[in-house]
Amino acid sequence: MKTLQIGNIDTKGGRFNGADLHQALLKRGIKSQLCVSMKKTEDENTWQLSLFFGSRILKFIVRQIEKLLSIQSILYPSFLLLYFDKRFLEADIVHYHLIHTGFFSILALPKLSQMKPTVWTLHDPWAMTGHCIYPFDCIRWKKGCGKCPRLDTHIPMFIDNTKLMWKIKRWVYSRSNLDIVVASKWMLDMVKQSPLFSNCRIHYIPFGIDLNVFHPMNAKEAKKLLGVNPNSIVLAFRATTSEFKGLSYVRECIQKLRCDEPICLLTIGEKNLLGEFGDKYEIVDLGWIDESKLPLFYNACDIFLMPSTAEAFGVMVIEAMACGKPVIVFDGTSLPEVIFAPKGGIVVPQGDVEALRVAIEDLISNSKMRQEIGNSACSIAKENYDAHIFLNRIIELYAKVIENRKKQIRI
């Protein structure tokens, strides 16, 4: 079997761009190529999709034109190379990942999916909406969009072309031969409700992580290695200004936190977003760390916070669970199902800072509860999110899709 993964970049965010899957397939002895918009590694099986020298300038120009026209992932021309590329033409199956990040045109899907058996993993709901990554409580994506209540949300539009984009997507998918993969039942429910994917085959395959990498370690040793007071209660979370990740709720909660224990705020992501707490708590901002250091980050924490207001799966939460840590999440996203709440963590009402504070204080004051939930979370991760289980399911899907295409051709 020859596979081709298509995503944005082969390093940062490799879990969402096909890079990790590409490497896992190679280790399994399956031939794999990775096609990306930005190539950063020396992997001989990875190649960059670019028309000519200066493709960054071309992408920038196209991006600005799309912004002015308030359209998304329509005008990028680099996909034309795939029609003639030997690595695409020789692939038995092509798997698309994040293709709405400013390098690919969805108008290419009808032709490309007719040429090759095609799988597309939806990492967020963008493929179902007129422009937004997450629609929150808006349900216009079920009816055709238009009159968008939040043009400023990611990905923003200057003028309301959401109805046009929705119609373009409907036209594209109706003429494509697609097998759609989603990682959560929350996303599965959305796809089933979307009129856009009525003629596509839908597959539910939760993501997996390497349990040889993410596993419980000595917490005090991990704290020391990261420069954290070993005797502190560590609250870990991602620091980001993204509207989806809930940092504002964490900050408000921390402001009200009542605790006699020494507290450390351990973060990855953006730095210097918690300066107002410097006099009250120990703050360790790790910044954007290499993925190989993530196990230390999780093992150094006592409680992992992920109060996202929108989340299609949440890989970080299963990484924390695999390291034996209790997690706290908001309801209204995929996270409660992903953590098998209440077994793998605590769910509080979305946006309820008081409930979030109480949940944190309960875990801080009860080490036995932290340990019990952490142990349960670790077991859940082993049973449901092993990378080998995920890879086996993907390979089985590839074989099924390839066989189905052969049957279609014979008919």
In terms of phi and psi (left: phi > 0; alpha: psi -120 to 50; beta: otherwise), the region of 398 is: alpha
* Domain contains 332: yes
Pairing of strands 282-285, 327-330: unpaired
Residue 16 has a pLDDT of 82
DSSP state of 351: T
Task: Say how many CA atoms lie within 13 Å of 128 toward its Cβ.
Answer: 29
Whether residue 200 sits in one domain with residue 65:
yes
Q: Domain of residue 48: give its range.
A: 2-208+387-410
**Residue 249 sits in the same domain as residue 393:** no
The predicted-structure confidence for 306-326, as pLDDT tens digits, reads as follows 999 999 999 999 999 999 999
Same domain, 346 and 199: no
Has residue 213 been placed in a domain? no
- Residues near 335 by beta carbon (within 8 Å), at least 6 away in sequence: 306, 308, 311, 314, 317, 329, 347
Strand order in the sheet with 46-48: 46-48, 31-38, 2-9, 93-96, 118-121, 179-182, 201-204
- Measured from the Cβ of residue 248, the count of other Cβ atoms closer than 10 Å reads 14
CA-atom Rg of the chain in angstroms: 22
**For the segment 248-259, what is each residue's pLDDT rounded down to a tens digit?**
999 999 999 988
Alpha carbon distance 365, 131 (integer Å): 44
Residues 243 and 183 in one domain: no
Measured distance CA(124)–CA(134) in Å, rounded: 7
At 24, which CATH number?
3.40.50
Q: According to DSSP H, which parts of 185-260 are helical?
A: 185-193, 219-225, 247-256
> Do 161 and 271 reside in the same domain of the chain?
no
Domain assignment of residue 214, yes or no? no
> CA torsion 111→81→404→199, rounded to 10°?
-40
Beta strand residue intervals within 199-313, DSSP E: 201-204, 233-239, 263-269, 282-285, 303-306
What's residue 53's pLDDT?
53
**How far, in Å, CA of 282 to CA of 94, rounded?**
48
Model pLDDT, residue 13: 66
Q: In CATH, what number is assigned to the domain containing residue 244?
A: 3.40.50.2000
CB 380 within 8 A of CB 273: no
Each residue's pLDDT tens digit, 208-227:
999 999 999 999 999 999 99
CB-based burial, 210-244: b 16+ in 10 Å, e otherwise: ebeebbbbebeebbeebebeeebbbbbbbbeebbb
- Considering the domain architecture, whether residues 285 and 162 belong to the same structural domain is answered as no
For residues 10 and 155, state if they share a domain: yes
Coil/strand/helix, residue 118: strand
Burial class, 263, CB count within 10 angstroms (exposed 0-12 / middle 13-18 / buried 19+): buried
Question: Are 33 and 87 spatial neighbours (Cβ–Cβ below 8 Å)?
Answer: yes
Q: How far apart, in whole angstroms, are the C-alpha atoms of residue 213 and residue 245?
A: 25
pLDDT at 287: 95
Would you say residue 70 lies in a domain? Answer: yes
Domain count, the chain: 2
Same domain, 185 and 74: yes
Residue ranges of the chain with per-residue pLDDT less than 70: 12-14, 52-54, 411
Residue 121 parent element (H or E): strand 118-121
CB 74 within 8 A of CB 87: no
Please give the pLDDT value at position 411. 66
Indicate whether 242 and 189 sit together in one domain: no
Q: Cα–Cα distance between 213 and 116 in angstroms, integer?
A: 34
Q: What are phi and psi of 400, to 5 degrees?
A: -65, -45
Q: 396 and 323 in one domain? A: no
Same domain for 106 and 237? no
* Per-residue pLDDT, 12: 64
Q: Are 263 and 282 in contact (CB under 8 A)?
A: yes
Classify residue 316 by burial, with Cβ atoms within 10 Å: 0-12, 13-18, 19+: buried
Residue-level pLDDT at 410: 72
> Could you tell me if 196 and 272 lie in one domain?
no
The pLDDT of residue 320:
98
